[in-house]
């Protein structure tokens, strides 16, 4: 990887980066922003989605597949089927050692899920489908060049997208700028940084109202 001079105009110099195909390159401040968002999301979960978890439908063991258990900090022991494990070979920004995750349903199924790390018992994110916020989200995805090879030539219908949700009191925001994309067949994923803009970094999420007792 090397820095090259692309253009010189008077006192202005435009630089570029040459890197092997498939190597991801982001401005340092952009990558650090996503790392901070990931850490902030992990440290600020929503209490109401912490109970009654189970493996998401379609990720449980198939046929005679053996199950193992994994002890988490938040949920205690959970069953793990190898076919349900999602792998992120590059880890996640801010958590480079977190490669294996399990998607868990919550008491607010079809809205929020837990993405529990199987490498760090204390690491778990609340995630959601970005289409709940932006219906044509997948159609609007423009992957950076260094991510295209990882996901090509798969159509968007062969990919699952999740976005990390951060809670702050009674409000919540979703990081649409850096979705978690998963290749469904291989269950391989990567957190993709779509653009060097913060427009979608904190998309407001309207939380489901808590059930109230009948008068």
The tens digit of pLDDT for each residue in 154-187 reads 666 688 999 999 988 778 999 999 999 999 989 9
User: How crowded is residue 212: how many other Cβ atoms within 10 Å of its Cβ?
Assistant: 6
Q: 67 vs 54, which has greater pLDDT?
A: 67
The tens digit of pLDDT for each residue in 107-127 reads 776 789 999 999 999 999 999
pTM for this predicted structure: 0.76
pLDDT at position 152 over 60: yes
Contact 126, 103 (CB under 8 A): no
**Which pLDDT score, from 0 to 100, does residue 99 have?**
97
- Which residues are 165's β-sheet partners? 126, 174
Contact 102, 59 (CB under 8 A): yes
Q: Which CATH number fits domain 2-205: 3.30.530.20, 3.40.50.10140, 2.30.290.10, 3.10.580.10?
A: 2.30.290.10
Write down the residue that tokens 């968007």 correspond to: 156
Q: Cα(7)–Cα(169) distance, rounded to whole angstroms? A: 48
Computed on alpha carbons and rounded to an integer, the radius of gyration of the chain in Å comes to 19
* Rounded to 5°, angle at Cα 111 from 78 and 212: 100
């Amino acid at each position: 990887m090397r820095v090259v001079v692309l253009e010189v105009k008077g006192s202005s110099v435009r630089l570029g980066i040459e890197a092997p195909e498939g190597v991801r390159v982001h401005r340092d401040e952009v990558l650090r922003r996503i790392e901070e968002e990931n850490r902030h999301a992990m440290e600020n979960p929503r209490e109401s989605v912490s109970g009654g978890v189970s493996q998401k439908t379609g990720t449980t063991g198939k046929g005679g597949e053996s199950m193992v258990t994994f002890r988490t900090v938040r949920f205690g022991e959970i069953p793990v089927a190898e076919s349900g494990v999602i792998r992120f070979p590059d880890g996640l920004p801010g958590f480079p050692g977190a490669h294996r995750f399990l998607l868990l349903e919550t008491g607010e199924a079809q809205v929020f899920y837990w993405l529990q790390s199987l490498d760090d018992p204390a690491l778990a994110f609340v995630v959601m489908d970005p289409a709940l916020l932006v219906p044509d989200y997948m159609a609007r995805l423009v992957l950076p060049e260094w991510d295209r090879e990882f996901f090509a030539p798969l159509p968007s219908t062969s990919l699952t997208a999740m976005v990390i949700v951060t809670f702050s009191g009674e409000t919540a925001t979703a990081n649409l700028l850096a979705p978690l994309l998963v290749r469904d067949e291989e269950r391989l994923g990567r957190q993709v940084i779509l653009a060097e803009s913060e427009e979608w970094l904190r998309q407001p999420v309207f939380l489901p109202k808590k059930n109230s007792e009948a008068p």
